[in-house]
């Protein structure tokens, strides 16, 4: 430990592990430390015994829940967009050699007190109850526009400069009603709330293109999910880092972060040992009680163990359900449900894991999840908790300290991987090459 590194990384959450893997591949010397005895941090996967130990230590694990080691329950379950940036990062670093993926069976949206499948084909779109007859025609015109749109060819713009026209302007141009707008913006473009409506529409179009492109990859939904849960992702990137010379230390408490007279980070102290560095990356929990982070909200989550698929999801072995804010009076952001099962080897056969998550907006967080919990049917066991959300107060340019943000309530990884790309550039001054094809190795992502 007593040496100098280009980077010291604190915490083995997914973002930190991706970045340590990327940095090591690009020939940076690196020490990666975690106070915990396991990989994953907020994005760890726990077996049933660990779940009880974490959330209900006074309770005994029931005998009728199956073998505890057959559970790999993610604390922060997020689907992976099949053609999104996380897949590109996995392929860029060749971490796919350590992992196996399977497609997620369905993507659904809640409307008018009913769960509806997000259309995966033109035929499904025309028969969907999400839109009326005339709206289907308008929506088809909109989708054709999205497919044809090329930011470099103004002939495809239909007179709209999407760097200036807002998403609201584009919806109005195609005469999409409020219900269609809610479905499009939240179930396809995956916006957490409606703040995007008055921002330039180019981001909306790119998000929908990504959704549609990912959907064409496997057909049933645009998402994939790792077999044995998300815990394999940070472990895979950690293995990559170690292969390229990175040094790992688990179960290593950090007693002090060291700075020079100018306030720039110089290293960390653990007990009587000191490791020096030029730059430091950490998850926000290593800076609790300091002015380097600020609390930006809370996320409420409920892990629910079921003995059946979620009703009205066509007996899906895995799925995502989005409840747009407009479907719940007074709510400002969406509620998400991510469900996986024995198909992805995260639970015993005959068991499903459904995790409900939402940004906390009231003084009764559990009550906020009730509209989603009602959709799950009979719940065998529920684990509920609330997490604080933190964001860095600086960008690292003054003190060489780079801090990740807490994971949001969304049930997909796009916001997290976009942050990784931005942090890599901030830390190295180099753009990360994201032009790689998103074709996973043959057989690596199964239906």
pLDDT tens per residue, range 353-375: 999 999 999 999 999 999 999 99
What is the distance in angstroms between the CA of the first residue and the CA of the last residue of the chain? 45
148 is a domain residue: yes
pLDDT tens readout for residues 189-237: 989 889 999 999 999 999 999 998 898 887 788 999 999 998 888 888 8
284 is a domain residue: no
| Domain count for the chain | 1
230 is a domain residue: no
pLDDT tens readout for residues 300-338: 999 999 999 999 999 999 999 999 999 998 899 999 999
> Residue 174 belongs to a domain with what CATH number?
1.10.405.10
159 is a domain residue: yes
Q: How confident is the model at residue 443 (pLDDT cuts 50, 70, 90)?
A: very low
Joined together, the tokens standing for residue 430 give 């180099």
54 is a domain residue: no
Close Cβ partners of 155 (under 8 Å, ≥ 6 residues apart): none
313 is a domain residue: no
60 is a domain residue: no
Q: What's the mean pLDDT in 103-122?
A: 89
297 is a domain residue: no
Average pLDDT, the chain: 91
Q: How many CB atoms lie within 10 A of CB 37?
A: 8
Close Cβ partners of 214 (under 8 Å, ≥ 6 residues apart): 81, 82, 83, 84, 222, 223
pTM, 2 dp: 0.90
pLDDT tens readout for residues 158-180: 999 999 999 999 999 999 999 99
> For residue 38, is pLDDT > 90?
no
Domain encompassing residue 155: 119-220
> For residue 45, is pLDDT > 70?
yes
Q: What's the mean pLDDT in 101-123?
A: 89
């Amino acid at each position: 430990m007593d040496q100098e590194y280009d980077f010291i990384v604190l915490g083995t959450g997914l973002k930190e592990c991706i970045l340590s893997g990327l940095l090591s591949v690009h020939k940076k010397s690196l020490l990666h430390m975690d106070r915990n005895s396991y990989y994953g941090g907020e994005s760890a996967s726990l077996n049933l015994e660990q779940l009880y130990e974490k959330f209900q230590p006074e309770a005994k694990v029931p005998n009728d829940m199956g073998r505890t080691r057959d559970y790999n329950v993610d604390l922060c379950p997020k689907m992976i967009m099949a053609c999104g940036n996380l897949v590109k990062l996995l392929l860029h670093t060749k971490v796919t050699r350590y992992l196996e993926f399977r497609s997620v069976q369905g993507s659904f949206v809640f409307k008018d007190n009913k769960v509806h499948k997000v259309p995966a084909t033109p035929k499904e779109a025309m028969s969907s109850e999400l839109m009326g007859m005339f709206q289907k025609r308008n929506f088809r015109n909109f989708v054709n526009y999205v497919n044809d749109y090329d930011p470099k060819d103004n002939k495809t713009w239909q007179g709209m400069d999407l760097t200036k026209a807002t998403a609201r302007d584009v919806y109005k141009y195609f005469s999409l009603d409020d219900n269609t707008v809610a479905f499009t913006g939240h179930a396809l473009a995956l916006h957490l709330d409606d703040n995007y409506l008055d921002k330039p529409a180019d981001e909306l179009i790119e998000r929908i293109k990504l959704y549609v492109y990912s959907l064409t990859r496997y057909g049933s939904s645009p998402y994939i999910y790792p077999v044995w849960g998300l815990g394999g992702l940070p472990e895979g990137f950690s293995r990559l880092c170690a292969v390229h010379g990175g040094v790992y230390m688990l179960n290593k408490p950090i007693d002090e972060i060291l700075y020079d007279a100018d306030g720039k980070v110089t290293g960390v102290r653990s007990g009587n040992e000191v490791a020096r560095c030029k730059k430091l990356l950490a998850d926000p929990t290593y800076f609790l009680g300091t002015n380097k982070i600020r609390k930006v909200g809370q996320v409420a989550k409920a892990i629910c163990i079921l003995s059946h698929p979620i009703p009205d999801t066509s007996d899906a072995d895995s799925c995502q359900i989005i409840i747009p804010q407009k479907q719940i009076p007074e709510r400002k952001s969406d509620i998400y449900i991510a469900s996986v099962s024995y198909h992805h080897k995260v639970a015993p056969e005959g068991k499903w894991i459904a995790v409900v998550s939402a940004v906390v907006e009231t003084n009764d967080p559990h009550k906020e999840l009730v509209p989603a919990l009602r959709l799950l049917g009979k719940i065998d066991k529920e684990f509920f908790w609330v997490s604080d959300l933190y964001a860095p107060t600086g960008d690292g340019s003054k003190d060489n300290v780079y801090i990740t943000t807490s994971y949001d309530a969304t049930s997909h990884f796009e916001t997290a991987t976009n942050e990784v790309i931005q942090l890599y550039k901030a830390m190295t001054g180099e753009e990360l090459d994201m032009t790689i094809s998103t074709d996973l190795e043959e057989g690596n992502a199964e239906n």
